[in-house]
Structure 1
Amino acid sequence: MFGDLMGMMGKLKETQQKVEDTKKRLNTVLVDEQSNDGKLKVTLTANREIKSIEVDESLLEDKEQLEDYLILTLNRAIEKATKINEAELGAVAKDGMPDIPGMDMFK
């Protein structure tokens, strides 16, 4: 019984390290998104950190339009980044979970 417990603890620690490594790697995964007409382009990491925003000159003339473009395009980019983030971290967590009776929520 103790061996099983120690094995599970070791596996959990190993999984925790893999999750941290995956989070670091996701800082290098870039997600690009742009408005439908290409006037606004944003780049985020898969950890949802904004890396760049490119704004077409024509959008600088209308503050309200620029704000709308930013909201729509950033939300789409964040949604893409979140899907990548959750898929990657979920796969690591699922793979590393020990078999604990009654704890099959990740399977």
Structure 2
Amino acid sequence: MDLMGMMGKLKETQNKIEETKKRLDSVLVDEQSTDGLLKITMTANRKVKSMTIADELLEDKEQLEDYLILVMNKAIEKASKVNDAELDAVAKMDMPMIPGMENMFK
């Protein structure tokens, strides 16, 4: 087993994962309430970029809070799926197969 080659490959994969994480800062995910009164845009790294709240939601604090929780959770879930898929693809594509580590990325 070529340990030095494997270590180099691991470092290369780590660098590609870091590059992918940086790129995911520019991948935007949009989510909104079913009636379109609240819209959220976040990066695939789960950082909120923008939020639009319809005026009518400002009149009902509880409704606004409910909308925020619902839409934020949906946006985070969507962003997480994109993030996981991208990072999994990089890890699986470049990882050398080390006996016993097959299950690490599942």
Structure 1 length normalisation: TM-score? 0.94
Shift of 1:7: 0.6
Structure 2 length normalisation: TM-score? 0.95
1:24 maps to 22
Aligned length: 105
Work out which of the residue numbers 20, 37, 40 in structure 1 matches 2:38.
Answer: 40
2:13 maps to 15
Aligned-pair Cα RMSD in Å = 1.1
Shift of 1:102: 2.4
Equivalences for 1:51-90 in 2 at 5 Å? 51-90=49-88
Q: Provide structure 2 residue ranges, at least 5 long, that are not aligned to the other structure.
A: none
> Once superposed, which parts of structure 1, at least 4 consecutive aligned residues long, lie more than 4 Å away?
none
Q: Provide structure 1 residue ranges, at least 5 long, that are not aligned to the other structure.
A: none
